[in-house]
Amino acid sequence: FSILKKSKKVISIFSLAGFLIAAGFAYSTKKTFQGEFQIVIDSDKNQSQISAGISAITANNSLLNNLLDSSTSKKYKLQTEVGILKSPSILKNIFNFVKEQKTIKKSDEIKDLEYMSWVKQNLDIELQKGTNILNIAYRDKDRELIIPVLDKISKAYQNYSGKNRSRNIELGLNFVNKQIEK
C-alpha cells in the first residue's frame, strides 16, 4: 500500500497515457455497421409440395409413395441449404455488386477485396441450433451498402429456392409419368 502511495504520480501518468492512446484509436477507427435477417428453411413444406402434386396419381401404390418420399427427403438437408447459400453460385453476384459500389465510391477497401475473404469477414450465415431458422448477418464500414446487400442476398436465396422447388416438382412428375407408362 505504501508503494502505491509513493508511486501515484507514475501510475497516474501511465493511466492517463493509456486512456489517451485508447481514445485516439477508438476515434480514428472507422465504424463497422451490421444488418441481419432470418430465413426459415421449411424442408417439410418443400417435400409436401412435391408429394402433393403426385399424391392423386400414386394413391393406390404404396411402394411408389415410399420410394418418392425417401428420395425427396434426402434432398432437403438443412446443412445443404446453408452450404448452398454460402456458395459462390448465390453470393458471387452480390460480391460483384459490393465491389462495384466500392469502386464507384473509390474506397480504400477495394484493393484487398477478394471473394473468400469478403465472405469470411463480412458475412455470418449460421443455422440456429435445433431449428430451421437461418441467421444471416452482413457487416461493412459503408452504412449505405448494408440494406441493399441484405436485400440482394434475400432475393438470391428466394430465386434459388423457387428454382429448386419447381425443378424438384418437375422431376417428381416426370418420374411419376414414367412409372405410369410402365
Spell out, as residue ranges, where the chain has pLDDT lower than 70.
Answer: 42-77, 107-111, 164
Q: Is 42 helix (H, G, I), strand (E, B) or coil?
A: coil
Return the half-sphere exposure (C-beta side, CA atoms, 13 A cut-off) of residue 153: 29
The H-or-E segment that residue 33 falls in is strand 33-40
Which pLDDT belongs to residue 73?
47
Which pLDDT belongs to residue 19?
95
Which pLDDT belongs to residue 90?
85
Amino acid letter, residue 169: I
pTM for the model: 0.61
Which pLDDT belongs to residue 60?
46
d(CA 61, CA 13): 85
- Cell output for 69: 418420399
Which pLDDT belongs to residue 65?
52
d(CA 129, CA 134): 9
d(CA 85, CA 77): 13
Q: Which residues of 154-177 are buried (b: 16+ CB within 10 A; e: fewer)?
A: eebbeebbeeeeeebbeebeebbe
User: How many helices (DSSP H) and strands (DSSP E) are in the chain?
Assistant: 8, 3
d(CA 72, CA 8): 73
Which pLDDT belongs to residue 78?
75
Asked if 114 and 106 touch (Cβ cutoff 8 Å), the reply is no
Using a 10 angstrom Cβ sphere, with 0-12 exposed, 13-18 middle and 19 or more buried, the burial of residue 144 is exposed
